Chain A
């Protein structure tokens, strides 16, 4: 994983958390019709749903969205405008698409990055008995939010 100097020069990595948060807020407001809130406090909770989108090009790494089963179901419910108990296999699809849109929205907020960074299709993992290892020394940014009181964590791992 590598970070291109042009991308990091445009926006300092210190600004990434606020850009990630803004990207996520916009996706939830526009596509789910709800507002994310600041997480009240760090919760020591295992979030068993993870969606990941790879970034390649000027910025290389992985953007991931973590939530619990309730959170993933509620996302699909709001996106499809159906009751949570009617959500079926669309749950993973919805979580993947949310991650995809946050990743796209994030890179479009960094001047020059929308041209020089491509996204992979999203991957959704359920369960939490896994470890992720990035190649090379990686820089990690994590933003904790509350989605209708449910925990939501957005992570960005890049080299640098």
Chain B
């Protein structure tokens, strides 16, 4: 698998680092990692930075993860880019809502790198 450019969106800087580490532990080679503290920051980052994968929390200030995924279809650099939600909100309705807005996967916190691998590798494989 070629190395990818990831965008990690979470209001916790500690959690962003954990997600990045989990991606590496899952065997995903990262060419670059872009970080954003909420959906608005992520949209701004996407204006000038194309990415291959977006990992996004749901509960965030300013713009939450659901609002962010709803806006992604209008973002040129996000066209066809898979989004995986990583969140403590584990309800079926949250999962369904995220998927209906275009998210491709859903990982509940706390998680293992195995769960990250199982969710993300097939998504990346299907894209390549």
Contacts and interface: CB of A to CB of B under 8 A. Distances in A.
A83 to B, nearest CB: 15
B88 A30 contact: no
**What is the predominant secondary structure among interface residues of chain B facing chain A?**
loop
Interface in A94-122: 94, 96-97, 100-101, 103-105, 108, 114-115, 118-119, 121
A11 interface: no
Contacts of A103: 88
B77 interface: no
A125 interface: no
B3 interface: no
Q: Which secondary structure dominates chain A's binding surface?
A: helix
Given A101-B110, A105-B110, A90 B88 contact: no
Contact of B14 (A30, A80, A104, A108): A80
Interface of A: 26-27, 30-31, 76, 79-81, 90, 93-94, 96-97, 100-101, 103-105, 108, 114-115, 118-119, 121
Sorted nearest first, the 5 A-B pairs with minimum C-beta distance are: A104-B88, A30-B110, A114-B91, A115-B91, A108-B90
